[in-house]
Amino acid sequence: MENSEILKKFLQNLQQVPYLASKNLFKVASHFLEMEKDKAEFFCATLLKMKDCLVKCQNCFVWKEKDSDCVYCKRDQSVICVVETWQDMLAMERAVEFKGAYHILGGAISPLDGVGPENLNIGSLVERVKKNYIKEIILALNQTPEGEATAAFIANRLTQASSAQNHIIQITCLARGVPIGSSLEYLDKLTLNKALSERRPF
């Protein structure tokens, strides 16, 4: 059974799906095998239709329906929250009452993975800043070496662009410190150091 060419091909396809442990691939294949044929066809039709209908907004790079306007680009465009991925944006939307706009970079600068600034939506962010009146850019990148390097790179580019136009933009980042619900004894050294050096009045 494990020799079936078509099963092998499907397993190879499944292998590329993120967050599926390889030990579960056979179980997922089994799920699709046991499924009624019309349900499998519906699954595929939905998948392909979704790919057809959804496009990235060319202003903020959030996925939107092809024939409708981007809901985020209708919001306050003077504050832009810059995030690495769509999932990060969704996490922000779920957690906070943010009324501004977004800009999705599509990842972080990572020379080891061959991702340079030209592979990310950084140029279009600078263009947005040049063309529109923007008060604040929130750099909500991940707290990883790549995220921090990317944030520094963007902050630099934005400062150059805005000073060339004599228009000062506030560039902020998310507060760093002790996460809510955590015990100090389990916290990493870097976070504790940051939390101490950036302490604030009680």
| Residues within the interface to a second copy (CB under 8 A) | 1-4, 6-7, 9-10, 13, 16-21, 24, 26-33, 35, 37, 40-44, 46-51, 53-54, 62-65, 71-72, 85-87, 90, 93
The CA distance from 11 to 36, in Å, is 19
Q: How far is the CB of 152 from a second copy (least distance, A)?
A: 26
Q: Which is nearer to a second copy, 5 or 188 (CB)?
A: 5
Q: Which is nearer to a second copy, 57 or 171 (CB)?
A: 57
Taking the C-alpha atoms of residue 78 and residue 136, their distance in angstroms, rounded to an integer, is 7
Instruction: Look at residue 22 and give its three-state secondary structure.
Output: helix
Contact 189, 168 (CB under 8 A): no
Which CB, 21 or 175, lies closer to a second copy? Answer: 21
- Outline where DSSP puts E strands in the chain: 54-56, 63-65, 76-83, 100-104, 136-139, 170-173
Q: Which is nearer to a second copy, 66 or 199 (CB)?
A: 66
CA–CA distance, 147 with 145 (Å, rounded to integer):
6
Kindly state the smallest distance separating residue 163's Cβ from a second copy, in Å. Answer: 34
CB 91 to a second copy: min, Å? 9
Cβ atoms of 99 and 76 within 8 Å: the answer is yes
What gap in Å lies between CA 48 and CA 157, rounded to an integer? 38
CB of 201 to a second copy, least distance (A): 36
Query: Cβ–Cβ contacts within 10 Å for residue 73, how many?
Result: 15
Q: Which residue lies nearer to a second copy by CB, 14 or 126? A: 14
Least distance in Å: CB of 49 to a second copy? 6
